[in-house]
């Protein structure tokens, strides 16, 4: 396993990040435990979750699974760089969501309790909160850092200008601010190349892409649906929408002698701005299979061909749309 710094920090994280969103809704607790144990065995020590995962309001199902796994001991908690998130609704009250200092304080205590840990390594804002000023957010985080309950702060689903605004406010307070951004990014969805990636590079944020396989679309979906096997309705619509590109993509992967999912991850890992793509396995094979991407080296011709099949926004702003 390779390890890289998380943004401008001295913290080293594995080149692949274990996403836990499937733990509970789609993966049993027993299988989740096995996947996490295997991840550590393989050297994957960067785990990502969120207080809303499990999708039953206020229950924190996935965080609870992690907590019971940590409780088994064996140095599990000490070996893991643990990331979770705050923003989503955790109750019926008017202050049971978003990023007020009131909610952040409650949310941190809830996550710590569920995960049976004394600290969170990376506490991420799951979405921008347009109603709460940064002076309030950063004051709340400063207290948590001083208390030792949070080590680093990160963002998720932020625009480039919002990252700049957050960092400006943090600098004025002599606070470290954000160290990472978790964004939707894959061969199909490349909008963050316009401004988010340049902002992260300028401010020293690591990038943790979610959905690197575009919800499975880049995982060889055409081959998987051969023989009359039909995908769920929303996936089928995407397949038909992108069928010409998917046909070219899967054919090109076959030319390379590689699986489409591995090529999609390898393409992302080729970008020096990317820290750790999030892989969210439902079953063990999806975890172990992802390691092949670390071995694939795409040359200039291969990268050019992938750009032709899945063109991005044209580069960085403003040159992507102006001179």
Q: Which residues are catalytic?
A: 53
How many angstroms separate the CA atoms of 64 and 110, rounded?
10
**Residue 2 CB partners (closer than 8 Å, separation 6+):** 14, 15, 294
Cα–Cα dist 60/244, whole Å = 40
CA quadruple 16, 21, 26, 30: dihedral, nearest 10: 70
Instruction: Report how far residue 154's alpha carbon sits from residue 156's, in angstroms, rounded to the nearest whole number.
Output: 7
CA distance 34 to 21: 15
Distances (CA, A) of 101 to 157, 182, 268: 20, 22, 35
Which H or E run includes 18? strand 17-19
Which tokens in the block code for residue 257? 């002698």
């Amino acid at each position: 396993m390779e390890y890289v710094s998380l943004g401008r920090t001295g913290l080293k994280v594995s080149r692949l990040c274990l996403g836990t969103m499937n733990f509970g809704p789609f993966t049993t607790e027993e299988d989740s435990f096995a996947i996490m144990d295997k991840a550590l065995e393989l050297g994957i020590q960067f785990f990502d979750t969120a207080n809303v995962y499990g999708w039953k309001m206020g229950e924190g199902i996935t965080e609870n699974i992690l907590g019971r796994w940590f409780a088994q001991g064996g140095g599990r908690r000490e070996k893991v760089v643990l990331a979770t998130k705050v923003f989503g609704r955790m109750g019926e009250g008017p202050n049971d969501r978003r990023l007020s200092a009131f909610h952040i304080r409650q949310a941190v205590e809830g996550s710590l309790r569920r995960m049976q840990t004394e600290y969170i390594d990376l506490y991420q804002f799951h979405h921008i909160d347009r109603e709460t000023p940064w002076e309030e957010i950063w004051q709340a985080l400063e207290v948590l850092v001083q208390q030792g309950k949070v080590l680093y702060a990160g963002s998720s689903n932020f625009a480039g200008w919002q990252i700049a605004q957050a960092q400006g406010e943090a600098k004025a307070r002599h606070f470290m601010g954000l160290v990472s951004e978790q964004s939707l990014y894959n061969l199909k969805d490349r909008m963050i190349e316009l401004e988010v990636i340049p902002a992260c590079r300028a401010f020293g944020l690591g990038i943790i892409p979610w959905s690197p396989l575009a919800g499975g679309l880049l995982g060889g979906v055409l081959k998987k649906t051969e023989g009359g096997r039909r995908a769920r309705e929303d996936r089928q619509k995407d397949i038909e929408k992108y069928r010409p590109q998917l046909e070219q993509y899967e054919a090109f992967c076959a030319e390379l002698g590689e699986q489409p999912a591995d090529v999609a991850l390898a393409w992302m890992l080729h970008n020096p701005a990317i820290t750790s793509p999030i892989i969210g396995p439902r079953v063990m094979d999806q975890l172990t299979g992802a390691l092949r991407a670390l071995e694939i080296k795409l040359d200039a011709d291969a990268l050019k061909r992938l750009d032709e099949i899945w063109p991005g926004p044209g580069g960085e702003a403003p040159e992507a749309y102006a001179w």
